[in-house]
A and B are shown apart, each in its own frame.
Chain A
């Protein structure tokens, strides 16, 4: 019995060991076959990776796998065209087009006669680029990108709405608190009256003089409003406000601060100078070399808008102006009176003043308005306070030396004639 059972156990163990061994073996063989597969793939991978780096360094500027950028989308391009054709086109597309290749000519026409840059890749490099395109073409098209960017927008929106709601909740709490205090006060008043009456009936005493007054007191609004104090105070406040607004009004005569005319094209500095950080000089080309900063001509708009947002109605206005060779009639915002002279180059190039110093937060303006007063007092004030930056400018050397003899203060604009009438009025 014992022997029998031990045999059984032994046979069982044998069976399990065989079972495990076989599993192990099958695994290891699987493993080795897997390893082998990886080996061939790693050779491929290095080519693909090489192709990827070349592709990203040279091609992504104009091409993507799935989207038309400047040139066509390159998904499955190896199936559309032969290897020789592709090699020839990449190396010198112009030559292929000029040879009269029908496909190449049509391609050239389809993409607005844009010539592809010639690349002097060797066969190995071209092969690895094609391998990369092949491996990318095998992957399914991804669509999840848009959703992700959407999410981000929502989260930032959420943040601002959260801060808004906290403010709202706070004001709501404050108002309820005020109402509660008012109600409590009124109730307290009523209760105290009742208490006095109750106390009197219990004790049977007569009301004291002050208690009587307290209980019978009624507020006389009419008498209060007609009292000398209230009438006098309101007249005083009213006159003060009136005089103040009159004086303020008089001070706005001849000042165009906050003038914000509608422009023929809804151009936004907030987008161009703010969001895209285009330098002011790119469009206002005169600011360093002439009296006027200049309003850009249409060809400067077209430098970007030949391709960007060309289907928007506002951009269409630029395209029409360009095609018909007509100027865009922008409305001038800063109208310095004709009686005074101002020079941009003098202030920006020599003085080194930032545009925003006078023009304000231009990068946040959708529609430009006049930020500064542009009054004489405003000019003079700046000329009194601003130090002359004389460093590295020989022109000022003698002036600085002369000024140093008579004064301990730094050389200000007023010291070099910044307050002379004829500097600006002539």
Chain B
């Protein structure tokens, strides 16, 4: 009888481990869960954590983490429209349809080996899977996505730096806008690198 009890305790404890959908037993749950809003986690269910509620007046469980005043009760908010990000660059405000205006733009960066090296790193992160390592439009995704123009093809090999910057920011033809993913400075760096690929 005693053996069985010990065996059951053992079974119970070994069920603490996380597996599949079960995150496992927490040691001090109210130190694990954030009380302030956490940007990348959201608990919409008000019942969760009601078993150790330290503040019964708030009408929700201990682990509830959601902002009812935001869209979709999100804990994150989009920046206010017109917010200017802190950096060395003013926001890029040329609209998508004014590519002719943009093509006159000059890169604020100087030609240097460093900029090219950094540009290549950014190219590898954001461009290579479609445009391919030599910019021939033969990246692994590009082949499936189709319609990726080679940088040295007649249609685009003479595009100016401003034109390329505008295309990355707003997209063009098949390519969608990548301005939300790559900062202005990084975009100018990648432009420098892409210009070397146009000339090959």
> What's the interface size class on B, roughly?
35 or more
Beta-carbon contact of B146 and A253 below 8 Å: no
Let me know if A11 is at the binding interface, CB within 8 A: no
- Bound: A17/B20 CA distance, A: 92
| Cβ contacts under 8 Å, B41 to chain A | 332, 335
Beta-carbon contact of B141 and A278 below 8 Å: yes
Beta-carbon contact of A276 and B176 below 8 Å: no
Number of A interface residues in the complex (CB < 8 A): 61
Beta-carbon contact of B173 and A279 below 8 Å: no
**Interfacial residues of chain A within 273-299, with CB under 8 A of chain B in the complex:** 275-279, 281-282, 285, 289, 292, 294-295, 297, 299
Let me know if A142 is at the binding interface, CB within 8 A: no
- Bound: A282/B153 CA distance, A: 25
Beta-carbon contact of B39 and A292 below 8 Å: yes
**Interfacial residues of chain B within 143-177, with CB under 8 A of chain A in the complex:** 144-150, 153-156, 173-174, 176-177
Q: Which residue of A lies closest to B149 (CB)?
A: A61
Beta-carbon contact of B155 and A306 below 8 Å: no
- Bound: A62/B155 CA distance, A: 13
With A62-B146, A249-B10 in contact, is A258–B40 under 8 Å at CB?
no
- Bound: A299/B124 CA distance, A: 20
Instruction: State how many angstroms separate the Cβ of B27 from the closest Cβ of chain A.
Output: 4
Q: Shortest 8 CB-CB distances between A and B: which pairs?
A: A249-B13, A252-B17, A254-B27, A249-B14, A70-B147, A259-B18, A281-B125, A337-B32
- Bound: A327/B76 CA distance, A: 11
- Bound: A307/B143 CA distance, A: 12
Beta-carbon contact of A261 and B13 below 8 Å: no
Let me know if B50 is at the binding interface, CB within 8 A: no
| Cβ contacts under 8 Å, A275 to chain B | 140
Let me know if A300 is at the binding interface, CB within 8 A: yes
Beta-carbon contact of A260 and B19 below 8 Å: yes
Let me know if B91 is at the binding interface, CB within 8 A: no
- Bound: A31/B162 CA distance, A: 60
- Bound: A382/B27 CA distance, A: 23
Beta-carbon contact of B147 and A258 below 8 Å: no
- Bound: A306/B144 CA distance, A: 12
Instruction: State how many angstroms separate the Cβ of B98 from the closest Cβ of chain A.
Output: 16
With A248-B14, A256-B23 in contact, is A308–B125 under 8 Å at CB?
no
Q: What number of residue pairs across chains A and B have CB atoms under 8 A from each other?
A: 159
Beta-carbon contact of B153 and A261 below 8 Å: no
With A114-B174, A279-B126, A308-B145 in contact, is A57–B150 under 8 Å at CB?
yes
Q: Which residue of B lies closest to A327 (CB)?
A: B72
What are 8 A-B pairs with beta-carbon distances under 8 A? A70-B147, A114-B174, A118-B155, A255-B17, A258-B18, A276-B141, A285-B181, A338-B31
- Bound: A306/B173 CA distance, A: 12
Beta-carbon contact of A249 and B32 below 8 Å: no
Q: Which residue of B lies closest to A302 (CB)?
A: B176
Beta-carbon contact of A69 and B16 below 8 Å: no
- Bound: A30/B54 CA distance, A: 103
Let me know if A246 is at the binding interface, CB within 8 A: yes
Let me know if B74 is at the binding interface, CB within 8 A: yes
- Bound: A250/B14 CA distance, A: 7
Beta-carbon contact of A255 and B24 below 8 Å: yes
Beta-carbon contact of B31 and A339 below 8 Å: yes
Instruction: State how many angstroms separate the Cβ of A330 from the closest Cβ of chain B.
Output: 9
Let me know if B15 is at the binding interface, CB within 8 A: yes
| Cβ contacts under 8 Å, B6 to chain A | 242
Let me know if B180 is at the binding interface, CB within 8 A: yes
Let me know if A370 is at the binding interface, CB within 8 A: yes
Q: Which residue of B lies closest to A70 (CB)?
A: B147
| Cβ contacts under 8 Å, B146 to chain A | 61-62, 69-70, 307
Let me know if A408 is at the binding interface, CB within 8 A: no
Given contacts A294-B40, A307-B174, 20 further A-B contacts (CB under 8 A): A57-B153, A61-B146, A61-B148, A61-B149, A117-B156, A245-B13, A254-B24, A258-B18, A259-B20, A261-B20, A261-B23, A262-B20, A275-B140, A277-B140, A279-B129, A281-B126, A282-B125, A307-B145, A338-B35, A339-B31
